Structure 1
Amino acid sequence: MLRTLDIRDMLLIDRLELDFRPGLTVLTGETGAGKSILLDCLGFVLGWRGRAELVRKGAEQGEVTAVFELPAGHAARAVLDEAGIPVGEELILRRVNALDGRKTAWINDRRASGEVLRAVSATLVELHGQQDDGGLLNARGHRALLDAFAGHEDLIAATRSAWSARAGAAKRLAAAQAALAAVKEEEDFLRHAVAELDTLDPQPGEEATLDAARRSMQGAERIRADVARALQILGPEGAEGALRDADRWLQGAAEKAEGRLDGPLSSLDRALIELGEAAQGVEIALEALSFDPRALESCEERLFAIRALARKHGVLPDELGGFAAELRARLAALDAGEAGIAALEAEVAGCDAAYRVAAATLSTARAEASVRLDAAMAAELAPLKLERAVFETQIAPGEPGPEGTDAVAFTVATNPGAPAGPLNRIASGGELSRFLLALKVVLARGADALTLIFDEIDRGVGGATADAVGRRLAKLSHSAQVLVVTHSPQVAARGNTHFRVAKSVSDGMTTSRVSVLSAAERVDEIARMISGAEVTGAARAAAQELIAG
């Protein structure tokens, strides 16, 4: 509920502070006095689109502050929580308009963007007039209005849940189908690649092992001939034979050498022993260097095959095993794909059936609610002198969505036999005002958290019809705070609080003033609205009668 509105240096207002109360507040004044300025200032602090130039002439900036009372569970709290703005029982909106056109907004002293400000204000205030843009004339919002009237929250929640489940299943099916199609495109490649990898069966670390063995065999091939020649030279046909001949010759001469050859013979024996050991070592090495040429060829063939396959698939040789496992998994997905697709198709069909049931239940409830809404509208239209008009809620098949499959539109026929059509095309200005008011009264369920503003919605009506409009506004104010700008004394007489707007000129400067009327001032103001500039005793009596009635 709007509690206070503080305006400084905006348009024709230099300083104004208004306190608002529950119930019906009426705003009156002569034409041109500035009633629309008050709404412009309120719209400015709420972030609505409006006039470009708002700063009062001679001022550096204009400022508007609005204070709202927020009950627990108010929709604004969710918006503020999402925006990270703390809020208690009171909500303060403040917006400043600089002379250069820059606009800055605060919510509870926190800077706020225009988007957040408008999101919050949408939960606080509704403006209705003959060019109503609050949803009553917009057919796209009629389904939501019908659901709000009937209290379909649980049915809509069930339908949304079914739609979400259906959409999720369809998304999973589409993803599986796309994946299967992609795998099928490479099926031949996968089967060939897996067969090739399975045939070769490369093992982790095998490439390094094969490379080392190949290098070893290649090295042995290069040195074996030299080792063999060395063994031959060390053997009986070489050094060993020569040393033994020398030993035999020296042994024959030693008896006559009187001991002079004993030392050389001893050294020669040791040399023969060392030579034998060397020859034995070389022989062992020669045997180790021996290999089958076919083993080298086989080693090279496998090594080259592993490296070629790694290059072909763009992986490291040691990664071939993991790559093969990946390809096998893709093949398994392909082989199991058809069964998986069938299961997902069954899930989609089940979710679709559940959605159709939920949507059909909601459609049935909407059809029943439309009858109640039409009856309620008929009861409201008769006192507004529209008893011959026919209001009808039309429900037709629409595009399936999270809130069902119905397209809802409010239509009217203002005269018997006349074709029905949209409100804003069939009804005249005065009729449209009354249709909108009747709709708002009927659809008032849940409006207690809103401040409803009606801008000259009674234009074009008078007498008993205007009285009926006033009574409907008063009825609506029992469940919501209502502010109405009016030229009708019958409507003004129904107000709980009465503001009067007057324009004055001082020192060449025009300003608008808003004052709260006392009981006596209220009688005079309504009398002025009845009689014009000159307030007569008869007009005052009529005003008192209207207020009492």
Structure 2
Amino acid sequence: MLRSLDIRDLLIIDRLELDFRSGLNVLTGETGAGKSILLDALGFVLGWRGRAEMVRPGADAGEVVAVFDLPEGHAARAVLDEAGLPVSDELILRRVNAADGRKTGYVNDRRASGEVLRALSDTLVELHGQHDDRGLLNPRGHRGLLDDFAGSGAELAAVRGAWRARRDAEAALARAREEADTLKSEEEFLRHAVTELDKLDPQPGEEAELDGRRREMQGAERVREDITRALAAVSGDGAEGMVSDAARWLDGASEGAGGRLDGALEALTRAADALSEAEQGIEAALDAMSYDPRELEAVEERLFAIRGLARKYQVLPDDLGGHAADLRGRLAALDASERGLEDLERALKDAEASFDAAAGTLSDMRRAAAERLDAAMAAELAPLKMERAVFRTVIEAGEAGPDGRDAVTFTVATNPGAPPGPLNKIASGGELSRFLLALKVCLTGGGAGMTLIFDEIDRGVGGATADAVGRRLAALSERAQVLVVTHSPQVAARGAHHWRVEKRVSDGMTLSTVVPLGGEERTDELARMLAGDIVTDEARAAARALLGA
């Protein structure tokens, strides 16, 4: 509910503070007094796009502050939470228009964009008038209004859930088909590559091992020549034989040497043993380093094959086994893709069937609600002197989407036999106003805590019709706060709270102000609306009669 509106230096308003209340609030005043300026100011603080120049001449900046009550569960709380703004039972909107055109908005003293203000506006205020294209006149919103009237929240949620499931199933099938097509185009390559890699079967670390073995065998010939010469040097034909001869010679001479050769003989014995051990080690090394030339050829062939495949598939030699496993996995996925596609196609059919069933249930509910709405509108239009007009809720097949398959349009035919058409193209100004009011009375949309604003919705009507308009506005105000800008005394008399908008001239400058009315002041205002500039006793009596009706 809109609790207060504070306007400073805006257009022809220097300072104005208004405290609104629940129920029906009416604003009256002579043409040009500034009633529309109040709506401009409210639209400005709510982020609506309006006049470019709003600052009062001579002022540095214009400012509007609007205070709303936010009960628990109000839709504005979700908007605030999503925007990261503080949430409380009171919402304070402030917007400043600098003289240079810059506009700055605040929500609960935090900077906020015009987009956030407009999102809040959608949960706070509904404006209805002849030139309103945000609410009832906008065909894009008619389906949502009918759903609110039908009370089809659960059915609509089911349709949206089924649509998401169908969309997800379509996306999964599309991805699977794309992947299958990609794999199919690679099938020949995959099968050849897997066969080639499986045939070679390279193992991690094998390339380094083969390279080492190849280097060892390539260098073995030169090494064996040196080792063979060494073996000859220490064997029986070399040092070992010479040591053996020397030991034999000294052994024969030792008896005549008187023990002087015993140490030398012992040393030669040790040398012979060491030479024998060296000979055995050399022979063992020669045996270990012996190789078959055909083995070198085989090692080189496998080493070059591994390195060739690594270059071909652009991986490291040690990664060839893992790459082969990846290719086998892709080949398995290709082989399984046909079966997987069949499963996904069945899942999509099931999702489509679920969506069709949910959308069909919602369509049936909408058609039943459309009949009730048309009947309710007929009952409302008769007291508004439009009993010959025909209102029809047209439901046609539309493109499938998260809200079902229906396109909904509110149409009217103002005269019998005339073709129906959209509200804003068929009805005249006065008729349109009454259609909008009747619709608002019939529809249950708007949500708790909304402020409904009707801008001269009674234009072009008077007498009993204007009284019927006033009664319906009063009935609406029992469910929501209603603000009405009106020239009709019959409508104004139904208000629970009444303000008069008037102009005054101060220091040669025209300013607009708003005066709360009560008692005789209200009677005089209604009498002025009835009689014009000269208020007669008869006009006052008629005004009292309206207030007492």
Please say whether Structure 1 and Structure 2 have the same fold, judged by a TM-score greater than 0.5.
Answer: yes
1:66 partner letter: A
Does structure 1 conserve the Cα–Cα contact (< 8 Å) formed by 2:126 and 2:135?
Answer: no
The answer for the alignment partner of 1:454 in structure 2 is 454
Count of residue pairs brought into register by the alignment? 549
Matched, 1:482 2:482: yes
Deviations 1:465-512 (A, max 9, x none): 222222221121111111111111111111111110111111112111
Q: Equivalent residue for 1:315?
A: 315
Pick closer, same or farther for the CA change 1:254–1:6 going to 2, 3 Å: closer
- Please say if 1:512 is aligned against 2:543: no
Q: Aligned runs of 1:251-270 on 2, under 5 Å?
A: 270=270
One-letter identity of the residue aligned with 1:526: L
Describe how 1:286-325 pairs up with structure 2 within 5 A. Answer: 286-325=286-325
Q: 1:133 to 1:229 in 2, by over 3 A?
A: same
Q: Which amino acid aligns with 1:296?
A: L
Structure 2 equivalent of residue 6 of structure 1: 6
Please name the residue that 1:213 is paired with. 213
CA distance in 2 between partners of 1:52 and 1:270 (Å): 117
For residue 437 of structure 1, report the CA deviation from its aligned partner.
1.0
Of the structure 1 ranges 171-180 and 132-141, higher mean CA displacement relative to structure 2 is found in 132-141
Distance 1:516 1:294, change over 3 A: same
Contact 2:127 2:135 in 1 (8 A): no
After superposition, give the CA deviation of every residue in 1:337-365 in whole Å (9 maximum; x if it has no partner): 11111011101100100100110111111
Aligned partners of 2:143, 2:534: CA distance in 1, in Å? 49
Higher mean alpha-carbon deviation, 372-381 vs 504-513, is at 504-513
**Are residue 81 (structure 1) and residue 103 (structure 2) matched?**
no
Distance in 1 separating the partners of 2:271 and 2:445: 122
- Please identify, of 363-372 and 244-253, the stretch whose mean Cα deviation from structure 2 is larger: 244-253
In the other structure, the counterpart of 1:343 is 343
* Whole-Å separation in 2 of the counterparts to 1:524 and 1:438: 30
**1:388–1:416: 8 Å Cα contact kept in structure 2?**
yes
Judging changes above 3 Å, is the alpha-carbon distance between structure 1 residues 356 and 259 closer, same or farther for their aligned structure 2 residues?
closer
Displacement of 1:444 in angstroms is: 3.8
SS of residue paired to 2:14: strand
User: Retained in 1: the 8 A contact 2:128–2:135?
Assistant: no
Say whether 1:433 aligns with 2:428.
Answer: no
1:300-357 deviation per Cα after TM superposition (whole angstroms, max 9, x unaligned)? 2222222221221111222222211111111111111111110111011001001001
Contact 1:444–1:476 (8 Å) recurs in 2: no
Paired with 1:402 and 1:210, the residues of 2 have a C-alpha distance of 64
Q: What secondary structure, in the 3-state scheme, does the structure 2 residue paired with 1:56 have?
A: coil
| Distance apart, 1:248 and its partner CA | 5.9
The aligned counterpart of 2:15 is 15
C-alpha change, 1:386 and 1:262, in structure 2 (3 Å) is closer
Match in the other structure for 2:538: 538
| Partner residue in 2 for 1:72 | 72
Q: Deviations over 1:86-141 (max 9, x none)?
A: 22221111111122222122111222121111111110011111112132112111
Amino acid paired to 2:426: I
Report the equivalent of 1:404: 404
C-alpha distance 151-254 of structure 1, shift in aligned 2 (>3 A): closer
* CA–CA separation in structure 1 for the residues paired with 2:479 and 2:254: 144
The 2-side partners of 1:266 and 1:372 are apart by: 131
Moved more, 384-393 or 199-208: 199-208
Please say which of residues 386-395 and 131-140 is displaced more in the overlay.
Answer: 131-140
Moved more, 270-279 or 355-364: 270-279
2:367 matches 1:367: yes
Instruction: Mark the CA change 1:240 to 1:410 in structure 2 (over 3 Å): closer, same or farther.
Output: same
8 Å contact 2:457–2:486 — kept in the other structure? yes
**Quick one: which amino acid aligns to residue 301 of structure 2?**
E
Q: Which residue of 1 aligns with 2:499?
A: 499
Percent identity of the aligned residues? 70
Amino acid in the other structure paired with 1:376: A
Task: Please identify, of 303-312 and 530-539, the stretch whose mean Cα deviation from structure 2 is larger.
Answer: 303-312
Deviates more, 1:414-423 or 1:238-247: 238-247
Equivalent AA in structure 1 for residue 157 of structure 2:
A
CA drift at 1:276? 3.4
Residues 263 and 159 (structure 1), Cα distance of their counterparts in 2 relative to 1, 3 Å cut: closer
Instruction: Give the whole-Å Cα distance in 1 for the aligned partners of 2:443 and 2:237.
Output: 125
SS of the equivalent of 1:123 reads helix
The amino acid across from 1:317 in the alignment is P
Task: Work out the CA distance in 2 between the residues paired with 1:456 and 1:400.
Answer: 39
Supply the distance in 2 between the matched residues of 1:169 and 1:46 (Cα, whole angstroms). Answer: 41
| Matches of 2:267 and 2:14, distance apart in 1 | 132
Equivalent residue, structure 2, for 1:146: 146
Q: CA deviation at 1:242?
A: 4.8
Letter of the structure 1 residue corresponding to residue 215 of structure 2: R
Deviation at 1:534, TM superposition (A): 0.7
Q: Which residue of 2 aligns with 1:464?
A: 464
> Conserved in 2, the CA contact under 8 Å of 1:384 and 1:434?
yes
User: Given the two structures, how large is their TM-score scaled by the length of structure 1?
Assistant: 0.95
| 1:246 to partner: Cα distance | 5.6
1:210 positional shift: 2.0
Asked if 2 retains the 8 angstrom alpha-carbon contact of 1:444 and 1:479, the reply is no
Instruction: Map residues 184-195 of structure 1 onto 2, 5 A cutoff.
Output: 184-195=184-195
More displaced stretch, 4-13 vs 131-140: 131-140
Report the Cα offset of residue 258 of structure 1. 8.3
- Distance in 1, matches of 2:483 and 2:502, equals 18
**1:413-453 deviations in whole A, cap 9, x for unaligned?**
11111111111111111111111111111114454421111
Does residue 394 of structure 1 match 2:376?
A: no
Given residue 174 of structure 2, which amino acid in structure 1 is its aligned partner?
A: A
Deviates more, 1:352-361 or 1:537-546: 537-546
Decide which moves more: 390-399 or 470-479: 470-479
Residue 131 of structure 2 corresponds to which residue in structure 1?
131
Q: Which runs of 5+ in 2 are unaligned?
A: none
SS of alignment partner, residue 378 of structure 1: helix
TM-score (norm 2): 0.95
The alignment partner of 2:319 has SS state of helix
